[in-house]
Structure 1
Amino acid sequence: MSRHSGAIAGNWITIKQGDTLGEIAKQADVPLLRLQRFNPGVQSRELAVGQRILVPHSTERAPSGGPYRYRIRPGDTFSKVARHFGTSPITIVAANSNVDPSGLAVGQLVDVPLKSGTGGGTSSVARSSRKSATLPDPGPLPKTGTSWSWPLTDYSITRRFGKDSRGTLQPMLLSTNRGARASAVNDGEVRFADSMRQLGQVVIVHHEGNLQSVYANCKELLVKSGAKVNRGNPLCEVDVNERGQTELLFDMRHGGKPIDPALLLR
């Protein structure tokens, strides 16, 4: 049996020879089930020397299915947290509308909604962002009038919002010309402007009514996190994808849940 020195609750620890999750939970004085839930990609019977384990802090919570209550640690980003829990940065950003992703503070508590049936990590952030996340029901869409506009002026819809042949929700894809710039669909605040694995450069704008618009596959960002934007303000230059097409991946969310942009855009 291996014992770790010092307080381990709330910290990452490295597995030593003889470690078991049960012994780690006992030393940290945390329930074994809670320790397991905070490490969804870890198999109890397949611990490897050198493997890193996250031991939850007393302020953190892990209800079955989420959303988890996670405590920010040094070096954390929403992308890093999403990779550990097998969810997507977009889902975390949308679930924490009052949190600036570029200004995370150590010790800050954030909600981490999980995709249904989380039992391990994911190899594709883009795939996991389309899975159904465990989020509170945001209620009906707010009345928005006709103030919402499309993110591009010259475009064609190459893929509409909806489920694919496997039943997985897919965001809208808009084809446009090289050099085209995506613009804010309505007034709001930029809550994320950075890169995401497999989604390229991404901008997320938070709007009134707990609505978020997401602009991915960007080549160059034209705004920074925290910026106030008006409808029509340019956000990014659209990039060329692996098929040689200039396409914007466009998504909208209500309370963190994906919705059809056609319900709002005019």
Structure 2
Amino acid sequence: MLRSAMLSLGVLALGGCAGLASWETGERTVYNGKKAAPAAEAPARPERPVGADDHLVQRGDTVYAIAFRNNLDFRELARWNGIGSDYLIRPGQVLRLKPPPPAPRPRFTEGDVETTAAPEADVAPVKSEPITADTPPPPLEPPGAVVVDTAGFQWTWPTNGTVARGYEPAQGNKGLDFTGSVGQPVFAAAPGRVVYSGNALKGYGELIIIKHDEVHLSAYGYNRQRHVKEGDVVTTGQPIGEMGLGPENKPLLHFEIRERGKPVNPVGFLPAKSKPAAKPG
């Protein structure tokens, strides 16, 4: 009987230890056959101190997304930070969100008189010559670049829902909010190239941003699913996602048009014959 009792105690002890048993799988620790949640990725280490007017680039950031978040023209953001035409950025890079201060003009001393270099005279813009049959072709785009011809494109409504809230920038709404049914198609409002497809921008859920030309972007927020990825070329009316749930847990598509980085009223771009009446504020 004593031997049997000792064996029972041993089994209980082993069972208690098994409840805490763990081993490494190479990626994460496993407890009782279940994988633990992966550890949160450490934030990027900044290459220099981050000021109030700076942005620390994190994994998944793009120039377009950073400019969109801060109501900036992506071209100006790139120019202020010396970013090339490929718009490549890296985690840990610190981007200024305002133009750099002008460089001081050189000062010259002539005897006892100190003078300042005169400002550069304005140069008249060079008039472009009309293109003729003898005009040499423009240089080719670098390999892998996608050229999207949006000359004369027409806009269409991004979904078949109704407008629940109109363009009210003073109240914080920078576009149109559409209602409908969860899962209904979301369409590209104009042809272009997808420059962002993700969920890193707070306040937009699953977001898609399309670049239509060097001036216009459109954005589609709170998708349930995104059917396009960055770099995809889309056509007007092409399904790019599905309507999801907004902050109030109701079906919602938030749609914006940006012009040189600034939100504009989409109603001025969309077809007049299909304009639904916006809900009064």
TM-score w.r.t. length of structure 1: 0.52
Corresponding position: 1:148 with 2:127: no
- Pairwise CA distance, 1:164: 4.1
In the alignment, what sits opposite 2:238?
233
Task: State the identity as a percent.
Answer: 19
Secondary structure at 2:267 match in 1:
helix
Corresponding position: 1:187 with 2:169: no
Q: 1:206 to 1:198 in 2, by over 3 A?
A: same
**1-structure distance, mates of 2:259, 2:268:** 11
Q: 1:156 to 1:91 in 2, by over 3 A?
A: same
In the alignment, what sits opposite 2:258?
253
**2-structure distance, mates of 1:73, 1:106:** 5
Secondary structure at 1:174 match in 2:
strand
In the alignment, what sits opposite 1:208?
213
**1-structure distance, mates of 2:202, 2:214:** 28
Secondary structure at 1:200 match in 2:
coil
Could you tell me which of 39, 51, 55 is aligned with 2:51?
Answer: 39
Q: 1:107 to 1:243 in 2, by over 3 A?
A: closer
Amino acid at match of 2:179: S
Corresponding position: 1:163 with 2:169: yes
- Pairwise CA distance, 1:108: 7.4
**2-structure distance, mates of 1:208, 1:150:** 18
Amino acid at match of 1:189: R
**1-structure distance, mates of 2:220, 2:240:** 8
- Pairwise CA distance, 1:78: 4.6
Unaligned runs of 5+ in 1: 1-10, 14-27, 29-34, 41-65, 115-142
Q: 1:99 to 1:185 in 2, by over 3 A?
A: farther
In the alignment, what sits opposite 2:180?
176
Amino acid at match of 1:150: W
Give RMSD over aligned pairs: 3.8
**For 1:159-189, what per-residue CA distance to the aligned partner results, in whole angstroms no more than 9, with x for missing partners?**
1112345xx4532101112211211011100
TM-score w.r.t. length of structure 2: 0.49
Unaligned runs of 5+ in 2: 1-44, 79-83, 100-149, 272-281
Contact 2:155 2:190 in 1 (8 A): yes
Q: 1:210 to 1:249 in 2, by over 3 A?
A: same
Contact 2:72 2:260 in 1 (8 A): no
- Pairwise CA distance, 1:236: 1.2
Higher alpha-carbon Rg:
2
Q: 1:107 to 1:217 in 2, by over 3 A?
A: closer
